[in-house]
Amino acid sequence: MKMHLDEKIWLTISFGMIMAFMLVTGYQTFALEMGPPSHMETIDPQKVDETAPFDKPGVYQIGENEYEVVMTLEVFAFNPGNIEVPAGSKVHFTMTSKDVVHGFEVAGTNLNAMVMPGQIQKITQTFDEPGEYLVLCNEYCGAGHQLMATTITVK
Ligand code: CUA
C-alpha cells in the first residue's frame, strides 16, 4: 500500500495526540489522584432494596437542625422526591443508584455529585436560603433522562 506523505504526517499527528491525551488522563488519575475515591463505601447494586439504610429511603431528623436524606436513584426518579426541610438545616445526603450512573445536581448550590451503582455517595449541604431548589440528573441515563428531576423545598 502506498501512502501519501500528507497522510503519514496526519496519521502520526493524530496517533501522537491520542497518546498525549492518554498520558494526561493517566497522570491526572494516578499522580494527581483525580480518579473516583477508592475508599468509597460499596453496596451490592442488585440488593439495594434489602440493604440498610437504602431499604428505607426517606428524610430523617438526626439533630436539632440536621437531617439525613437516604436516597435511591433509578431510571428516572429520585426516591424520596419533593423533599422539605426547614431553613438553616444541615442536610447529609446518602445516595446510591439502583441501575445506571445518575447525577445529583441541585441548581443554585454547589451540590453536584455522580451517583453510581455499587457505590455509596455522601454529600452534605446547609440550606440557609428558603426557596424551592430544582434537583436534576446531569448524567445521561436513558430515554427519560430529561424528565429526571425533583425539588428540595426549604422553608
Ligand atoms: Cu438519571 Cu439522567
Kindly state if the Cβ of 148 falls inside 6 Å of ligand 1: yes
Hey, what CATH class is 41-154 in? mainly beta
CB 119 within 8 A of CB 96: yes
Q: Tell me: the pLDDT tens digits for 87-120?
A: 999 999 999 999 999 999 999 999 999 999 999 9
pLDDT at position 46 is 93
At 34, list the grid cell. 483525580
CB 125 within 8 A of CB 104: no
Kindly state if the Cβ of 102 falls inside 6 Å of ligand 1: yes
Amino acid, single-letter form, for residue 42? T
Ligand 1 centroid to Cα of residue 42, in Å, is 20
Kindly state if the Cβ of 104 falls inside 6 Å of ligand 1: no
CA atoms within 13 A on the CB side of 67: 22
The continuous run of DSSP H or E covering 136 comes out as: strand 131-136
Kindly state if the Cβ of 140 falls inside 6 Å of ligand 1: yes
Domain residue spans in the chain? 1-35, 41-154
Q: Tell me: the pLDDT tens digits for 25-37?
A: 999 888 887 776 6
